[in-house]
Amino acid sequence: MNAAGSDEVVSWRTTSPGVVVVTMDRPPANALGISILDGLHAAIDAAELAGDVHVMILESALEGFFVAGADIKHLATIDAPSFMAYGDRMRAANDRLAAAPWISIAAIDGLALGGGLELAMAATMRVGSSRARFGLPEVKLGLIPGAGGTQRLPRLVGMGRALDIMLTARQVPADEALAIGLIDRLVEGDVLEAALTLAGELRSSSLPAQLAAVRAVAASADLTLEAGMAAEVAEEQGLFEHGDAAEGITAFVERRQPRFA
């Protein structure tokens, strides 16, 4: 996976077995234009084709920005059908990332606003630097977050906090983002290095088990406790029949590190 994405504004590289870093580089602020969206789709395509990705890290090459939001200058030039098609492309990228058969980490160092925050929320986990800022300012444009923001944000921080962030269009500082669950880890140093360290931790466990945990937790938002417990049991049964479970249990008994598939 050592190739460039569409328009060379998105690139990806393998940093260690099973770990891929996807880098967005569209100055000045990584506005989510078609080139970035196409590049993200291309990176996901390449990872799916490779079939050996355990962790995908999303990062920015630009100082002070993860993704500053949608490409507003582009939006000012298009009609309603083109606007909807653009939104569909954004939603598709986020949905593919959220449903991908690997764990994804958004490494955020700077602004993650609008579509940038929506992209980060589609990732499995989020690591932020102390200077990261988060927001969904679409109401300032007479819009609402339309690429998953109204759905994923309340699932992370609760309905009340989500409405506060969206209705005021304010920027949430990194320490508050950690406190309310918008990010999972806050680091003072290099955010990519922290994400790579987290990726190493994740690589030591079974990917099928991790994905089963993600599915079970995600399902809890829409299910009763009883239905959610049933879904958990189904996932557990499927894992017990998988080779990783036998290897993990055997390794524990033999007091060695497991060698997962």
Q: What is the CATH number of the domain that holds 71?
A: 3.90.226.10
Q: Tell me whether residue 160 is in a domain.
A: yes
Task: Give the bridge partners for 59, in sequence order.
Answer: 23
**pLDDT for residue 5 is more than 70:** no
Least confident range from 11-20, 131-140, 225-234: namely: 225-234
Q: Tell me whether residue 136 is in a domain.
A: yes
Q: Tell me whether residue 1 is in a domain.
A: no
* 124 & 228 share domain: no
Least confident range from 64-68, 104-108, 124-128, 224-228: namely: 224-228
Domain boundaries, position 167: 6-203
**pLDDT for residue 130 is more than 80:** yes
pTM across the whole model: 0.91
* 31 & 147 share domain: yes
**What does the DSSP 8-state code read for residue 7?**
G
* 157 & 198 share domain: yes
Q: Tell me whether residue 259 is in a domain.
A: no
What integer pLDDT is reported at residue 4 of this predicted model?
42
What span, in angstroms and rounded, lies between the C-alpha atoms of 194 and 142?
37
* 118 & 212 share domain: no
Catalytically active residues are: 118, 138
Q: Tell me whether residue 157 is in a domain.
A: yes
**pLDDT for residue 3 is more than 60:** no
* Alpha-carbon separation of residue 29 from 109, 159, 185, 230, 232 (angstroms): 12, 29, 23, 45, 41
What span, in angstroms and rounded, lies between the C-alpha atoms of 124 and 224?
23
- pLDDT above 70 coverage of the chain, percent: 97
pLDDT band at 66 (very low <50, low <70, confident <90, very high): very high
Q: Tell me whether residue 258 is in a domain.
A: no
What integer pLDDT is reported at residue 7 of this predicted model?
53
What span, in angstroms and rounded, lies between the C-alpha atoms of 199 and 212?
18
Q: Tell me whether residue 51 is in a domain.
A: yes
Number of folded domains that form the chain: 2
Say what the alpha-carbon torsion angle 119, 121, 127, 132 is, to the nearest 10 degrees.
70
* 231 & 156 share domain: no
* 198 & 220 share domain: no
What integer pLDDT is reported at residue 256 of this predicted model?
85
State pLDDT tens for residues 159-171: 999 999 999 999 9
* 186 & 215 share domain: no
* Alpha-carbon separation of residue 197 from 87, 162, 200, 222, 255 (angstroms): 33, 30, 5, 32, 24
Least confident range from 24-33, 142-151, 163-172, 243-252: namely: 243-252
Length of the chain: 261
Say what the alpha-carbon torsion angle 254, 242, 260, 13 is, to the nearest 10 degrees.
-170
